[in-house]
Structure 1
Amino acid sequence: MQITAYPSFDLAGKKALVTGGSKGIGLAIAAGLAHYGAEVMITGRHEEALIEAARALNAEGGKVSWKISDVTSKEDVGALFKHIDAEFGQLDILVNNAGMNIRKLLVEVEEEDWDRVLDTNLKGIFLVGQQAAKRMMEQKNGRIINISSILGKVGNSLQTSYAASKGGIDQLTKVWAAELAEYNVTVNGLAPAYIKTSMTAHFLEDPERLGKIVDRTMMKRMGEVEEMIGPTVFFASDASSYVTGQTLYIDGGWTAN
């Protein structure tokens, strides 16, 4: 058998958008995409954090810009994509990363808690994904990567709103993959377990909670943000050209245990 072409992870010339890109998983992903050659725009709600993140990534040799935007607002998302059209002229890669969590028992969850989490984690994914899909369909090419969680598959206490939103993301990934395949647009998800970020930092300070996470994880540790880069670049690049509708678990073996 003769192999005529080998997969490329090169993202040179690609234009990428990373929502929630100023910190944590989003910042690591933006750094990874930029490292592999993509021109990246990061977005979020906090201007100072975006400026600092873009400055740091550009100092490392990346080509990164920023735009303040609230993914829960249709008007904001519309303005964001007008800006992308003007600055990029195309959008090849979307990483739908913006998210939040409010940890409460079911009987303690307020309606406003539910709305805040679902608006950010699910409505935001929808609003941004819809705008990206329109452009990618016209281009007849594109990559959409939705950041989910193992909690879209497994059940943990204190996660009513968050788990509901992540389960919804997993289903959106499948539906969008079916709708966009004919346009050469792939849609895949990444579902991390507990990754060391500002959102999970308190686990490291709670020996009991950390012990439960470590015991449940085959690799006996939490993940590092850098470990999100490889899977993202795979889904963003030509190396995954025949992969769509899938959710990849970056979980140290949690969901296989």
Structure 2
Amino acid sequence: MMNKLTQDMQGKVCVVTGAARGLGRAISERLAGAGAKRVYVCDINLAPAHAWLEQYPNITGVELDVCDPAALAQLSARIVADHGRVDVLVNNAGITRDALLDKMTASDWDLVLNVNLKGVFLVTQAMYSLMKVQMQGAIVTISSIVGTDGNIGQSNYAASKGGVIAMTKGWAKEFARGGAQIRANCIAPGFINTEMTRAVPEKVLEKMTARIPLGRLGEPRDIAEGVLFLASDRARYITGQVLKIDGGLVL
């Protein structure tokens, strides 16, 4: 008999942004492996995903700019035509352009806020239009401990990640009106072993790791498991929350 936990997404249609690699890939693979009917893997550049996408018959790659309303309308129409519904949205797309405040340019501020905050707003707006018809769904947005606790040299990133937390709390109230079972939650990762983290100089990485009570970086699958839980019916009474997955870094 198949383990029930491997079928948390049985029959569900999922959308994951920023999904070609890193956290997005881990999340997409976990949802697909948990029995999703279809996972739309969305990224502005799908090239890094071509090899692994072929391993999953229930995954569809979609080139998508999260800041393009026309492209989002096309995606919504495609999902309706293919499946008539969307059950899970994972807002993962995000970028960084770090600098100390007196060195940060207005263009770097605008770019990060546009992708990380406006992009989440636009994607959620498009997918919510489908969820509200069926009166149910789960939205999980990837924030950051930088969005809850700040960090030096990341004013733009902190503002964007704090902003998605604020939007999520508002959505949790708004989307549940009229008895709808549409939930919205955030995950705030700490230091995770991704390509971005591996590019950090070794000495800096050692200092980062030393601050983590569990004594190691997190793995993408740690975030993916949190997403799976919040997206599943096991979390059916959880909404408007921020789940920190950081090895105890921020207590």
TM-score scaled by length of structure 2: 0.93
Match of 2:188 in 1: 191
How far did residue 8 of structure 1 move? 9.2
Matched pairs, number:
245
Match of 1:250 in 2: 245
Gaps of 5+ in 2: none
Letter in 1 for 2:19: G
- Name the SS for the 2:163 alignment partner: helix
- Name the SS for the 1:12 alignment partner: coil
Match of 2:14 in 1: 16
Q: Report the CA distance shift for 1:226/1:133 in structure 2 as closer, same or farther (over 3 A).
A: same
Match of 1:48 in 2: 47
Q: Report the CA distance shift for 1:86/1:50 in structure 2 as closer, same or farther (over 3 A).
A: farther
Q: Report the CA distance shift for 1:191/1:102 in structure 2 as closer, same or farther (over 3 A).
A: same
Determine the C-alpha separation between the residues in 2 that align with 1:81 and 1:216: 43
Match of 1:26 in 2: 24
Letter in 2 for 1:27: R
1:147 pairs with 2:145: no
Determine the C-alpha separation between the residues in 2 that align with 1:170 and 1:159: 16
Determine the C-alpha separation between the residues in 2 that align with 1:80 and 1:114: 28
Letter in 1 for 2:226: P
1:207 pairs with 2:202: yes
Match of 1:3 in 2: none
The answer to which of 14-23 and 214-223 deviates more is 214-223
Match of 2:125 in 1: 130
Q: Report the CA distance shift for 1:7/1:181 in structure 2 as closer, same or farther (over 3 A).
A: farther
Determine the C-alpha separation between the residues in 2 that align with 1:139 and 1:51: 32
CA RMSD of aligned residues (A): 1.6
Residue deviations 1:206-247, cap 9 Å, x none?
Answer: 233112211221111111111112211111111000000001
Determine the C-alpha separation between the residues in 2 that align with 1:47 and 1:104: 28
Letter in 2 for 1:41: Y
Letter in 1 for 2:212: T
Any residues of structure 2 matched to 1:1-257 within 5 Å, and which?
10-38=8-36, 39-56=38-55, 58=56, 62-182=57-177, 183-203=180-200, 206-256=201-251
8 A contact 2:6–2:33 mirrored in 1: no
Determine the C-alpha separation between the residues in 2 that align with 1:43 and 1:88: 17
Letter in 1 for 2:50: I
